[in-house]
Amino acid sequence: MSCLLLQRSHLCSRLPKLHQVPSLLGLVHDKHVRYASGGPGDVSKMRNIGISAHIDSGKTTLTERILYYTGRIDAIHEVKGKDGVGATMDSMELEKQRGITIQSAATYTIWGDHNINIIDTPGHVDFTIEVERALRVLDGAVLVLCAVGGVQSQTMTVDRQMKRYNVPRIAFINKLDRKGSDPKRVLHQLRTKLKQNAAFIQLPIGLEANCKGLVDVVNERAIYFEGDFGTKIVYDEIPKDMRAESEDTRAELVEHLANGDDILGELFLEEKTPTTADIHAAIRRATIAQTFTPVMMGTALKNKGVQPLLDAVISYLPNPTEVDNFALQETLSGEQSRVLMNPERSANFPFVALAFKLEQGKFGQLTYLRVYQGSVKKGDTVWNTRIGKKTRLSRLVQMHSNKMEDVDEVFAGDICAVFGVDCASGDSFVLDRDLKLSMESIYVPDPVISMSIKPADKKSENNFGKAVARFTKEDPTYKVWFDNENKETIASGMGELHLEIYAQRMEREYNVKVEMGKPRVAFKETLLEPINFDYWHRKQSGGRGEYARVIGLMEPLPATENTSIDFRDETTGTNVPKNFIPGVKKGFVDSCEKGGYAGQKVTGVRMRLKDGAHHIVDSSEWAFYQAAQFAFQDCAEDGKWTILEPIMNVEINIPAEFSSFVFGMLTKRSGIVTGQDGRDDWFTVEAEVPLNNMFGFSPELRGLTQGKGEYTMEYARYSPASQETQTAILKAFREKDDDKSSKGKKKN
């Protein structure tokens, strides 16, 4: 899965020489343009568009063509090209070696008279935070699908992420030139697996090696791409042998549009034939309303279909005025209200921006900002609304991969980068310190896997500390902490690849060779049945006393919320003064971090504080903090608990001859097959497997399939662990407790 952000921007005067490539709308580039037509004030000429894809669906190859056809680069480089240069947006050495995107990168360009910014993000689920924060700042998206693979596991994840942020999308079926490509099968999967109201607006003229061009179903014409890199667009009549299919596809398109758009629906019910203009308008309305998904196609590698896709981005996806973005403002009562941002590109409204990505550059910390309202100039002082700290913006830049170009001012809708700003990912910035606005936050998933980590020699400890401080600040899903019980440093992340990449970056960028331990799964524990608590904490001899009593109920949250915790203050009267409630809550939260039943982090639990007692002299927030912790321990000892483990969605692609081996592998690892599909000589199996059972899967799969099998894996949910796993975890926890007790006795 991957995400690419196309977003509006005013261009600086140093725009590179543009190729004279007209778009399908008849718009011609001008190499002397500073701004596209309409200037910084014309919001309708701007777009915030993302391109998302499953691994190896051709996203970075598509990006390279977009940059070439829009004149941003003078030559095309492939992801794993023989020239050694690599794709423009993969600037890190590790990315070029592995042929994958690890860090998101930004650039800007122009298509016709529309301004576009591009943020290229990773496809691997291990780097999912890069996708999350890019999707957070999108107005629309292009969902790329492989014509052979179709809707795959991470395609579903991307779809869920788009729905989380209400992002409209166009579907683009790539790799029509591959053997076994079948766009109709992919369309069927879009409708059945993703539940999309989708229909073709293009048809392929030939498939695999015979892929010659496309049929434009809406405008009823054929499109061919000629020249060395498909830069010459040729229109012609639809081939005779495809006219009947084109008419049927157009009728099917109108039928699906009628289900998603009321205006065209009325024409359909009145049995009137919609015009081409009617269909264009209906596609735009229904796409923005997320009631219809237009399906396009092409082959980026063979330079076919990219320019029509760019035109569709302009024609069918929303401009900033058609998307509502909200900030949160705290009211006098302490509650938060939603404030609608005004997308006008001027200084008429207060400046509000979101820091969605941090990166350590050669000039210090580079902070990527999406401006949601107003404008800011170089030299202005901005305020971080979370920590109340001010910073002067000495430099504003726009990024082109790992290169940067200075700008003097940015407006609502722009994406820029600034230096020297102390902040965290998700912080908001304003010009007016009294404007207590913050943008709605970015979803950050919890890590699912851990490994011990340490520098190979003590001389590198200082650099190791610097590397850890930088990487944990840049990536909220990468956490490093010290385990006091085992006396070792632990790194937690989204997968083995995630942790491996950071270990390699430490060696390359900080000259710190690290040693990694065996992978450890992030188990959790949760309560199965409600349990009452009543704990009376009294310490009233010698010095100042401590007095606190907490009474209430600990209960499990619904299964859909088993990765979160909740605290409710249900007290009435003055038995527990309100100024002591934060102590109770902190005691509960800290206890959940430590765990009580099996030493794992507690989730899916709610603490309801109903009553208690206090002493006029001896009570304090600290006393209630301790009372809450002791009450939690009582619940851990007397309650009914279970251990949860992360379940992964696993998709395996293998030659059909090896299918029996794979079913055996999944059965051995307690996997549950959720789907299977066959095409030609290949077989796809979808399954849910506990992460704890997936270690060593890759070499075993390669061995059993003669190196031909491949798989992808992503987090699905937490579920109760098997009895065997629970017994092993409890045994290890109790042995650790026994060791502590014996050490304590020896000291005494």
Residue-wise pLDDT for 397-426, tens only, equals 877 655 778 888 988 888 888 988 888 878
Cα–Cα distance for residue pair 313/319, rounded to 1 Å: 10
Domains and CATH numbers, the chain: 2-321 (3.40.50.300), 326-439 (2.40.30.10), 449-522 (3.30.70.870), 525-639 (3.30.230.10), 646-723 (3.30.70.240)
Token pair, residue 255, equals 């039928």
**Model confidence at 530: pLDDT above 70:** yes
DSSP state of 150: B
Quote the pLDDT of residue 423: 83
Amino acid, single-letter form, for residue 526 = T
Q: What mean pLDDT do residues 279-294 have?
A: 94
pTM: 0.74
Q: In angstroms, what CA-CA distances link 310 with 24, 62, 65, 461?
A: 9, 11, 11, 49
pLDDT digits (tens, 9 = 90+) for 652-693: 888 888 888 888 889 999 999 998 887 767 788 889 999 989
pLDDT digits (tens, 9 = 90+) for 435-455: 878 887 778 888 888 889 999
Q: Which residue has the tokens 């122009």?
A: 110
Work out the average pLDDT over 627-637.
Answer: 94
d(CA 232, CA 230): 6
pLDDT at 51: 79
SS3 of residue 159 by DSSP: helix
DSSP 113: T
Q: What is the dihedral of CA 19, 25, 30, 36, to 10 degrees?
A: -120
**For residues 75 and 80, what is the distance between their CA atoms, to the nearest angstrom?**
15
Give the full edge-to-edge strand order of the sheet including 364-373.
Answer: 389-392, 381-384, 428-430, 352-361, 364-373, 415-419, 396-400, 403-407
Q: How far is CA 473 from CA 358, 365, 366, 421, 479, in A?
A: 7, 10, 12, 13, 9
Q: Which residues contact 210 (CB under 8 A, 6 or more apart)?
A: none
pLDDT, one tens digit per residue, over 548-582 is 999 999 999 998 888 899 999 999 989 999 999 99
Would you call 228 helix, strand, or coil by DSSP? coil
